[in-house]
Each structure stands twice: as C-alpha cells, then as structure tokens.
Amino acid sequence: MADIDLSALTEEVVSRFDSTPDARLRRVMQALVRHLHAFARDVELTEAEWFKAIEFLTATGQTCTPTRQEFILLSDVLGLSMLTVGLNGSKPAGCTEPTVFGPFYVADAPAYGDGEDVANGAPGTPCTVRGTVRSRDGAPIANARIEVWQADDEGQYDVQKQGLEHAQARGVLHSRHDGGFHFRTIVAEPYPIPTDGPVGTLLGHTRRSPWRPAHLHFRISAPGYQTLVTHVFRAGDEHLGTDPVFGVRESLIAEWPRQADGSHRLDFDFVLNPDA
C-alpha cells in the first residue's frame, strides 16, 4: 500500500465516501471530513489535545440518561442548536420567532383546561399567562395544542428533581374558539444550565456563564400550520445578553408586570406560519 502524503490525506478520506448511495449522507460526510481536518490543521492539534477531546466526548456520552441529554447541551453551548433553528426555521415577517428546544421537554405532559394552574405545586411566585394563537393573516386558530414547560424558582425542571412523581410546571392546553388561552403558573426565574457534567466543566474552564435568562417554553401546533417551538423571556433580565445557548430573540422579550396582589402577569400573542 502506498504511503498517503499528509497533504493528500484529507482528499483520500473524502474519496472513500464517494460510493455512498445516499447523496445527502455522502455530501454531509465529505464536508464533515474536510472541515474536521481543516480544524485540526488550523489549530495544529496535538496528540494530547486529541486524546483529551476523546475523553471529553466519552464523558459527554456517559452522562446521558433518558432524562439528561448532555450531547444536546453541548450542541446548545456551541451555538449549533440555535444555528440549526435559524437555518431551518426562518418565518415570514409577522410570525412568532422560534428558538431552541432545550433538553427538558416531555411529550406526554398532563392536560389542563383553560384557566387552570399548570404549576401543580411547583414553588414560585404565582403568574397568570394570557394570549392568543393566530394565523399570519390575523385569523384566530381554535383548538391549537399549546404545550408549556418551565423551571421553578429553585431553577429546576420537574424532570431534574429526585423522587417527584407527578409533573410540575408543565402541561398541555388548547386555544379557545377565539384563539385565546390563559393559564396560571409560577413566574419564570433565571436558572443555570446543568453544570455537574462535562459541558459544565467546559463552561467553567472557558469562564462562560451557565445562567439562562428567565423564560417560559412553548410548543404550539395546529393542523395546517408549522409547529412553533419558542420561549418568552422576561424584559430586564440581567442574563439576556449572555444566554449560554444563544436562544434570545428581541421579539420574544416581554414585560411580566407585578400585580397589586404580588403575582405576575404575562400577555403574549403567537402567530403561526401556515404550511406551504
């Protein structure tokens, strides 16, 4: 077998994928090889650094469980999740902007009726959320499926809590005939993304903040419309400019005014993009 000159190695590896029958897989793998090799050449990667990187990726995989997705977290802090959202989720003007999904969504959250309390015992300051779901032309969307989830005032999602047997601060509602909805919950507070795994160690070594600005997650779906995955953030939050997962969009920042009784209120209207 002939020696492969270092300068020719990259193209030799690329050519080994030439017979991949799936054209998309071929394109992705060949570009991945070119970019990875260019990266290693660019930083003049040492063997010790390469070994450290393998250890880091191994630890990332070993940290994953059914309720802990360290690889998604890695993608999030590298900005890859938000880049993918931006590349695929661009919507016409007037539609609500999407943002990162995050690792704490649960598909089968409990159902609630209009006006009910989704907090279900989660600690926090009470908050009432009201809004509408509309199409781009302003028409109300009745019976849209509205999934919401959030952390409590200790910065924890229910799925992160040991021994909790029921869902808290998450639920599924449906919009009324007029497209409106409302529910009670607790006010969103800033919280750190998990720092007890390899991604947290990386943030520490690079002096990056793990604090996400306060937000409430929404996933809104309705037949004939593109599903919207987004958050609503709280105006004035000190972490809006340093979100570790790059999810903040100006159009998703809202006031959550404090009411006379000490509770908060959020009003936010959502606009879905009709299917092509």
Which residues lie near ligand BEZ (CB under 6 A)? 73, 76, 100, 102-104, 193, 212, 245
Of the pair 102, 210, the CB lying nearest Fe ion is at: 102
Query: 103 touches which of Fe ion, ligand BEZ, none (CB within 5 to 8 A by kind)?
Result: ligand BEZ
Query: 73 touches which of ligand BEZ, Fe ion, none (CB within 5 to 8 A by kind)?
Result: ligand BEZ
Cβ at position 127, least distance to ligand BEZ in Å: 17
Cβ at position 88, least distance to Fe ion in Å: 20
Cβ at position 126, least distance to Fe ion in Å: 19
Name the residue number minimizing CB distance to Fe ion: 102
> According to CB under 5 A, which residues from 81 to 110 bind Fe ion?
102
Cβ at position 240, least distance to Fe ion in Å: 14
Of the pair 179, 244, the CB lying nearest ligand BEZ is at: 244
Query: 76 touches which of ligand BEZ, Fe ion, none (CB within 5 to 8 A by kind)?
Result: ligand BEZ
Q: 3-state SS string over the chain?
A: CCCCCHHHHHHHHHHCCCCCCCHHHHHHHHHHHHHHHHHHHHHCCCHHHHHHHHHHHHHHHHHCECCECHHHHHHHHCCHHHHHHHHHCCCCCCCCCCCCCCCCCCCCCCECCCCCECCCCCCCCEEEEEEEEEECCCCECCCCEEEEECCCCCCCCHHHCCCCCCCCCEEEEECCCCCEEEEEEECCCCEECCCCCHHHHHHHHCCCCCEECCEEEEEEECCCECCEEEEEEECCCCCHHHCCCCCCCHHHEECCCECCCCCEEEECCEEECECC
Name the residue number minimizing CB distance to ligand BEZ: 102
Cβ at position 73, least distance to ligand BEZ in Å: 5
Instruction: Give the footprint of Fe ion on this chain (CB under 5 A).
Output: 102
